[in-house]
Structures are given as C-alpha cells and as structure tokens.
C-alpha cells in the first residue's frame, strides 16, 4: 500500500519560509500571489494490506516523528 503524508504548519503559526517564497515570487513578477504557506510531502510504501491498520500506523508515525504536532498538522492519503 502506498501512503502520502502532507505536513503543514497550523493556522496562526508564522511561516518565514513561506513568506520568503511569496516575496521571491512577487520579485519575479508574479504579482497575483498572496500569502504562501509551505510544507512537506512524505511518500511511504507500506507492507500493510489493511487500510484501518495502515492509517493507525501512519498516525503513530506522524505523532512520533513525521510532524511536530505542537505547530504542524498532517493529512494522510492512502492508495492501494
């Protein structure tokens, strides 16, 4: 089973990297770009066949390592 985890900063948490990207895009002439928030995407191959068990395992991975849950949120996407 393939999994994709999206990790982004929670609303209200300052995102200096996103601000820098937005500023750079504006400097390159992309004037319609407003606020930019950046994050990360993590792709995983899982041996697990059961979707419920896979989701539980992925939540645990996110809580323990993949996301800093104090300032970040995560979304899990599974593909068989």
Segment 43-79, tens digit of pLDDT: 999 999 999 999 999 999 999 999 999 999 999 999 9
Task: Return all residues near 17 (Cβ < 8 A) that are at least 6 apart.
Answer: 38
Helix, strand or coil for residue 56? helix
Please give the CATH number for the structural domain made up of 2-79.
Answer: 3.30.1280.10
The answer on pLDDT for 80 being more than 90 is: no
Nearest to 10 by CA among 75, 70, 77: 70
DSSP H or E segment with residue 32: none
8 within 8 A of 15, measured Cβ to Cβ: no
């Amino acid at each position: 089973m393939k999994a994709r985890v999206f990790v982004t900063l929670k609303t209200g948490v300052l995102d200096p990297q996103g601000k820098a990207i937005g500023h750079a895009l504006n400097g390159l002439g992309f004037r319609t770009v407003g606020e930019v928030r950046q994050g990360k995407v993590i792709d995983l191959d899982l041996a697990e066949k059961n979707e419920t068990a896979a989701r539980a395992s992925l939540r645990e991975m996110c809580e323990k390592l993949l996301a800093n849950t104090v300032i970040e949120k995560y979304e899990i996407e599974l593909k068989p």
